[in-house]
Structure 1
Amino acid sequence: MTESKWIVGVDVGGTSVKIGIISAKGDIYKKWEIKTDKSNGGQRIMEDVWNSVQQKLSESNISSDNILGIGLGAPGFIDGDTGYIYEAVNIGWKEYDLPGHLKQLSGLPVFVENDANVAVLGENWQGAGRQEKNVIAITLGTGVGGGIIANGEIVNGANGMAGEIGHMTIETAGRPCNCGRAGCLETIASATGIVRQAMELIEAGNSESKLVEHFENHGVLTAKDIFNYASLGDQEASSIVHYTADVLGLVIANMGALLNPSKVLIGGGVSKAGDQLLDAIKASFEKYALERVSSICDMRVAELGNDAGIIGAAFLVKQKVLHVSF
């Protein structure tokens, strides 16, 4: 290969591990996935990753001597300075020196960050962030995740908990959250939270919404269904979308008062609602935010999709090895 130095980016998920060989410029040369083996407390995952990487490097005639390092994003509570994993419940890891283990296997520098932080690095490097120095990213999926870049650097906080946007309290007497508390943003604005709002409306039994008919006919309701009916003018579906967007706009306005970002990125499956959701969030943000905060801030949908993690993991290596920043 003509490229002199490459980076391996790894994004560990609950069902699959995404891996990429990425140039120092951020171009993906090759990407693939392997199954996440959660047996035995996930202790074989790094062996699987390195065996797979070795095979692809060999196929591509790339020597490990030409690898700058391995960057890895993982779910759970992670020390941003050392990459040590305190706990990743969905994987089975606990008190795990992942970078030490993978470095021992590969002989390469290894750097590990929380997956949400790695995703915002990727989006800011090669996606919708456009390499801004102050960025907030919110991921709306089955849960709500987030990452913050301030003055060109990921914000980790005292013990890695900065950016847990999904667990900001919105409704003090709200619905139970998986974190053990109640009323978190995640209980409202995740795909699960949006469906929960609709199911409560259906179970109340006095709604004329098309959502009721849909659920009776299909036995299931998704966030996509709710956005579809809202776009068709269903009043109660529209009310759910409006409330969700209003809450998100309020959260972003409050974060804006603290962080003054020039870019806010909305990603995850729920963001596929596109302008229908984004325009409503923008309107809410502008309603609640200080004018000097909202006027400088560009809000847009994330662009990289499932590639954000491996690209961000590669940028993590660039940050650590080449000492670059946004």
Structure 2
Amino acid sequence: MGMYCFGIDVGGTSVKCGLFLTNGTLVEQWEIPTRLENNGSSILPDVADTIKVKLDERGITKDNVDGVGIGIPGPVNENGEVPMAVNLHWGFKAVASELSALTGLPAKAANDANIAALGEAWKGAAEGSKNVIMVTLGTGVGGGIIIDSKIIAGHHGAGGEIGHACVNHNEVRPCNCGNHGCLEQYASATGIVRVANDILEESQEDSKMRHVEKLSAKNVLDFYKEGDALAVKTMEKVGDILGSTLAMFACVTDPEAIVIGGGVSKAGKALTDCIQKYYQKYAFPSCKSTPIILASLGNDAGIYGAARMVIKD
């Protein structure tokens, strides 16, 4: 049993790295740039190098390390293979085995939204919970489902893709994924603005939202908190869609907690209260009391979750 492990979270511009004790204490964190040139061929060697440097710096031997966990923006199957990671310019990559070969340490890989969920379940907002659903509301809508302290990745690595549940069969505009009517089209930052613009078009009523040069999700949520009628109407619609979708997922997994993260979650309790109201309306009776809580680890959730993957229980 090693004393240490590494948690790595690969983003499009930087790679977040964390050295942890196996009890979950973060010893040190740092970042390295994500080098995308040559189809991202130096990303994993760079990660291996920074790990080697850190071990040398601290005089830690490999037999004192349980392993390296790594999160990737894209689907990752249970063997730690990535069919394709567009943002990293990767085609197929056997991430876990490649990183293990480069570092001489056991390695596991998972999707970045999934490791964030695992991080929040382990040391974040839902600390101590074994069953958690996490939704990240950002540019898109990411999701992660944790059952019995393990990530549900599924056969294609697409487990937990809550953002692409179809919530509107009549939508004519396409989602970035190519389908129509995905949750992401209504509950992401861009989705909230779209819902707001639709409501502004349908209504003659004045609203603070009409007097902003470029409407943002933050504007909508700020005006919602101030009680602006059309902003309230916007967020009630978003809350209804999101609450009902989470209620469906709760029927499948019955989580102890549902965690809301991502940039949009900065709106705080006003947002979770709105989602909770509709969640309770639609949830199966046994699940109605499930708390909907705000993520607490922020951008560090990924490194925590990545580290948790490789810790021997």
Which range, TM-score by smaller chain? over 0.9
Report the equivalent of 1:25: 23
Measured against aligned partners, the alpha-carbon deviations of 1:191-216 in whole angstroms (never above 9, x if no partner) come to 1101122334456694521111112x
Report the equivalent of 2:296: 303
Q: Pick the aligned partner of 1:239 from 233, 241, 262.
A: 233
Q: Pick the aligned partner of 1:109 from 96, 106, 109.
A: 106
5+ residue gaps, structure 1: none
Identical-pair percentage:
44
Alignment partners' CA distance in 2, 1:293 and 1:203: 37
Measured against aligned partners, the alpha-carbon deviations of 1:164-199 in whole angstroms (never above 9, x if no partner) come to 100000111223100001110000000110112233
Deviates further, 119-128 or 150-159: 150-159
> Would the aligned equivalents of 1:138 and 1:145 in 2 still touch at CA under 8 Å?
yes
- Residue 291 (structure 1) shift: 2.0
Report the equivalent of 1:44: 42
Q: CA RMSD in A?
A: 1.7
Alignment partners' CA distance in 2, 1:271 and 1:103: 35
- Residue 61 (structure 1) shift: 2.9
Matched, 1:221 2:235: no
5+ residue gaps, structure 2: none
- Residue 222 (structure 1) shift: 1.5
Within-5 A mapping of 1:272-287: 272-287=266-281
Deviates further, 45-54 or 134-143: 45-54
Amino acid in the other structure paired with 2:51: V
Alignment partners' CA distance in 2, 1:87 and 1:269: 25
Matched, 1:258 2:252: yes
Q: Pick the aligned partner of 1:195 from 170, 193, 196.
A: 193
Q: Pick the aligned partner of 1:67 from 60, 65, 68.
A: 65
> Would the aligned equivalents of 1:201 and 1:207 in 2 still touch at CA under 8 Å?
no
Q: What's the TM-score once normalised by structure 1's chain length?
A: 0.91
Matched, 1:158 2:152: no
Alignment partners' CA distance in 1, 2:98 and 2:286: 47
Amino acid in the other structure paired with 2:26: I
- Residue 157 (structure 1) shift: 2.1
Matched, 1:186 2:184: yes
Within-5 A mapping of 1:91-106: 91-106=88-103
Aligned residues: 312
Q: What's the TM-score once normalised by structure 2's chain length?
A: 0.95
- Residue 133 (structure 1) shift: 2.3
Q: Secondary structure at the match of 1:85?
A: coil
Q: Secondary structure at the match of 2:98?
A: helix
Alignment partners' CA distance in 1, 2:27 and 2:77: 30
- Residue 221 (structure 1) shift: 2.1
